């Protein structure tokens, strides 16, 4: 079968507001951006939200429905000269009484102060209508003079229903997918791996479908999508980047497991195997840094310091002397007390996030550096720990739905036993009293 050159995510990009997915608070009936389009009058604004929720698409729809010229710059690739050249093109259009063009700047938070300054005059004079897109809080990343000339609209992560609706739409409307009999038996892996990102979801579907039809002349009778098939196809795709062969990973695995198992003899043996095989010293040292946190952690906080210094040292020295530095670090880590409590804590925390979703940060512990945030109640009733005896005051820092959750469980070694006693004194029943 012929596979289109244009990516699925691009083929499915909507061109009309009625086809736009999610963000009802901005584009639904009577919402601010829909009103803006219906009135034909648009002012500069910034779209703030996570990747893959439609910031670029929404900017294009606005330009399309208002019949405005559309200029797009990426803050990663464009400099001050690109901004000025684009503004000059827009300025020349004014002589022909055309409506102000839209200048869309993706990742505007990556623009330097001088780049953002170069936009000010054009925005203030109405030469362009600026639409910026950012994944970062614009209160921190956009200069105040520019922020004061733009409204900020927040886009939310796409919901499960939004993503399932997108899949259905793709199967019904896409030039390739509508020809195929695709049966989604299970969708958990699809939704989890997409992370609420519509573009990533479509990329995963495209990867799975292309793997089934690539090289075939006929149309498959059915394509079954299960959680396992999604996981397998994603792993196959990642495996394409393994250029060094299986043994490369087997030996580094043996090295790490020997240190984790507190065997300095096996650790230096497998280290020698890698040295003799021509492995890069930075690769070995990088794995030691990871191990120092994953397998030793707070049982010996100096382990991470030594591993980090090892990485810096081998970067400066190189072979053959780096073998001595790596040997010292490997033996130190192998003979150190072990704890994976920090590793387990972040694993459990991530699993909790996947189960509970995007819970709101409690208002009392939100930062409030801007007037807008203060007016919204950010930081109200926050108790400053240093104002209390022992620099501690009992308060809740987790989202309301997770109140009382315990993720870090200190293990039975000298340092973490001390930590556990301190936590018991502060948090009482959460840590055993």
CATH of residue 398's domain is 1.10.3710
Dist. CA 53–CA 9, nearest whole Å: 12
Do 39 and 128 fall into the same domain? yes
Do 51 and 86 fall into the same domain? yes
Cα dist from 50 to 11, 32, 148, whole Å: 21, 20, 22
Tens-digit pLDDT string for the chain (433 aa): 566 678 888 888 888 888 888 888 888 888 888 888 888 888 889 998 888 888 888 999 998 888 888 888 877 677 778 888 888 888 877 666 677 888 898 888 878 777 888 888 888 888 888 898 888 778 777 888 888 888 889 888 888 888 888 888 888 888 888 777 888 888 888 887 777 788 888 888 888 888 777 766 777 777 888 888 787 777 655 443 233 444 556 778 888 988 888 888 888 888 888 887 777 788 889 889 999 988 898 888 889 999 999 999 988 877 788 889 999 999 989 888 888 888 888 888 888 878 777 776 676 666 665 555 555 555 566 666 676 677 776 777 677 777 777 777 787 888 877 777 777 777 776 666 5
Do 136 and 202 fall into the same domain? no
Question: Where among 138, 154, 170 does a domain terminate?
Answer: 154
Task: Return the number of other C-beta atoms located less than 10 Å from residue 324's C-beta.
Answer: 12
Do 175 and 222 fall into the same domain? yes
Number of domains in the chain: 4
Question: Where among 267, 299, 334 does a domain terminate?
Answer: 334
Domain carrying residue 234: 160-239
Do 219 and 295 fall into the same domain? no
The enclosing domain of 39 has a CATH number of 3.40.50.300
Within-domain flag for 343: no
Which residue in this structure is represented by tokens 């405005």?
Answer: 68
Dist. CA 295–CA 297, nearest whole Å: 6
Within-domain flag for 260: yes
Q: Which residues pair with 133 in a beta bridge?
A: 47, 106
Within-domain flag for 166: yes
Question: Where among 154, 182, 201 does a domain terminate?
Answer: 154
Residue 242 is predicted with a pLDDT of 35
Going 53 to 162 to 43 to 377, the CA torsion angle's sign is negative
The enclosing domain of 179 has a CATH number of 1.10.8.60
Do 268 and 363 fall into the same domain? no
Do 145 and 173 fall into the same domain? no
Within-domain flag for 13: no
Within-domain flag for 221: yes
Within-domain flag for 341: no
Do 166 and 253 fall into the same domain? no
Do 79 and 125 fall into the same domain? yes
Tokens representing residue 347 in the block: 């694993």
Residue 49 is predicted with a pLDDT of 85
Do 205 and 257 fall into the same domain? no
Within-domain flag for 121: yes
Query: For the whole prediction, is pTM greater than 0.75?
Result: no
Q: Are 108 and 150 in contact (CB under 8 A)?
A: no
Within-domain flag for 15: no
The enclosing domain of 259 has a CATH number of 1.20.272.10
Do 288 and 322 fall into the same domain? yes
Do 167 and 118 fall into the same domain? no
Residue 244 is predicted with a pLDDT of 43
């Amino acid at each position: 079968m012929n596979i289109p050159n244009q990516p699925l995510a691009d083929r499915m990009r909507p061109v009309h507001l009625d086809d736009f997915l999610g963000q009802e608070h901005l584009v639904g009936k009577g919402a601010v951006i829909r009103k803006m389009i219906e009135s034909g009058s648009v002012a500069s604004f910034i779209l703030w939200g996570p990747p893959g929720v439609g910031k670029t698409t929404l900017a294009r729809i606005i330009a399309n429905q208002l019949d405005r010229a559309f200029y797009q710059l990426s803050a990663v690739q464009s400099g001050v000269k690109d901004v000025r050249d684009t503004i000059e093109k827009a300025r020349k259009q004014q002589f022909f009484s055309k409506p102000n063009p839209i200048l869309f700047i993706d990742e505007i938070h990556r623009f330097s102060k001088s780049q953002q300054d170069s936009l000010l005059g054009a925005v203030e004079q109405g030469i362009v209508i600026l639409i910026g897109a950012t994944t970062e809080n614009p209160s921190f990343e956009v200069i105040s003079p520019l922020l004061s000339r733009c409204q900020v609209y927040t886009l939310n992560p796409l919901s499960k229903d939004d993503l399932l609706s997108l899949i259905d739409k793709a199967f019904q409307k896409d030039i390739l997918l509508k020809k195929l009999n695709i049966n989604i038996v299970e969708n958990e892996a699809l939704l989890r791996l997409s992370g609420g990102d519509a573009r990533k979801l479509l990329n995963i579907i495209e990867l799975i479908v292309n793997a089934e039809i690539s090289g075939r002349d006929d149309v498959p009778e059915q394509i079954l999508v299960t959680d396992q098939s999604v996981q397998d196809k994603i792993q196959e795709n990642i495996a394409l980047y393994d250029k060094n062969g299986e043994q490369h990973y087997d030996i580094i695995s043996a090295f790490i497991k020997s240190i984790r198992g507190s065997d300095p003899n096996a650790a230096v043996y497998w280290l020698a195997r890698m040295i003799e095989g021509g492995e890069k010293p930075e690769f070995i040292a990088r794995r030691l840094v990871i191990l120092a946190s994953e397998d030793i952690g707070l049982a010996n906080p100096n382990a991470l310091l030594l591993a980090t210094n090892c990485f810096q040292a081998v970067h400066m020295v190189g072979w053959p002397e780096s073998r001595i530095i790596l040997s010292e670090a490997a033996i130190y880590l192998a003979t150190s007390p072990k704890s994976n409590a920090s590793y387990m804590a972040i694993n459990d925390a991530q699993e909790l996030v996947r189960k509970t979703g995007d819970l709101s940060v409690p208002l009392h512990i939100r930062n409030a550096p801007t007037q807008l945030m203060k007016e919204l109640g950010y930081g109200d009733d926050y108790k400053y720990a240093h104002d209390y005896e022992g620099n501690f005051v009992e308060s809740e820092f987790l989202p309301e739905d997770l109140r009382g959750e315990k993720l870090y469980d200190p293990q039975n070694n000298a340092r973490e036993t001390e930590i556990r006693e301190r936590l018991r004194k502060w948090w009482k029943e959460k840590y055993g009293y």
